[in-house]
Structure 1
């Protein structure tokens, strides 16, 4: 088993006024040679966007881009003609493929929107761009892990991704002890604590800490307090 611990306080940070962003991996002006990616997981940005502000239209290609709102309303527009609002409980994915333009902004002027922006290297390159979003019942992740992203060809109930990857969210009561089995041989899991405190295989993690675990078949998670956790089950080679 291999593990890598990423302390929340050691993430990259950029505050642009309208955007306050924390980077778990090298991104924009933040470069750490030890934090380029975890397997196929390339970007994990923890973003807060001020009321009415956002990212102007910009391009992407050959990347799987996942947005997970934590609070507020995020408005999306893209060159495929999609216009959508996503909020907590929903997950959005965009397969950039051969190329796409999109914009993201805070739909509301009176409050910030907080969301995770995640990039995953694709399984197949130069596919036709695609967009999807799905709403999930938050009650269905109480003291268990709910699959919210899963491979396109699977029937695992998540929003489809062009990669052998699964994302799961769990809301754990203090004292909950739960095992998570890696979905695919050769995958690792990157655990990101959204709220609260947990232990994974004895390693203590607090709010926004992360632990990457590979070369194992399962991990054991214990909630030291009420906690909200995102697990990203990712190919380590691709």
Structure 2
């Protein structure tokens, strides 16, 4: 069965029908999701929801919520939270974190946050969930300073060359609703040519909704997988098995 490796089901957009959505997911073979926290303010919420509904979560600070003034406080709090959850089987990652060249504080601040997250990933032996928007080169250069770390570049929309560079550093490639866009030629070429063991299925719900969808949900995962299978001219059933194995291999779920 599939797992949505990136869904913000803790967001208020799901408050009215979260349980119903989870039932719908199970009915179509999506057995759960990983909830990546975005800020200190929602760490406890992703933990609570993961335990209530049998989901999984990551803890981290997303670039949009990074703050130069509070950086030491955030990192200290993250280390403490990871320590407290170190035996929690629902904790499977550090993140969401990363770099954003369009939104958030200046790059130097984001890089310091990222470096601290990478150090914690190595300390706690957890994979990272990384956001990357218009920041491929600085993200690659920073990852290189931490050999042995692993994770996923989520919501990937870049080139085959960039994907291979991330893969060489131990990172899988998160594929979401963008692949459904016929104009996303770089990504579709990438998905067609990357080794299957590098791909992870995700939706980034409720964000990144495909065209014609008002609110993205993990149910979109089925369309994503079907499109990957179509692009690669492979069997959907065998692809689902491979993707499920990829998720288990990285996140141990």
Task: Give the TM-score normalised by the residue count of structure 2.
Answer: 0.38
TM-score by length of 1: 0.39
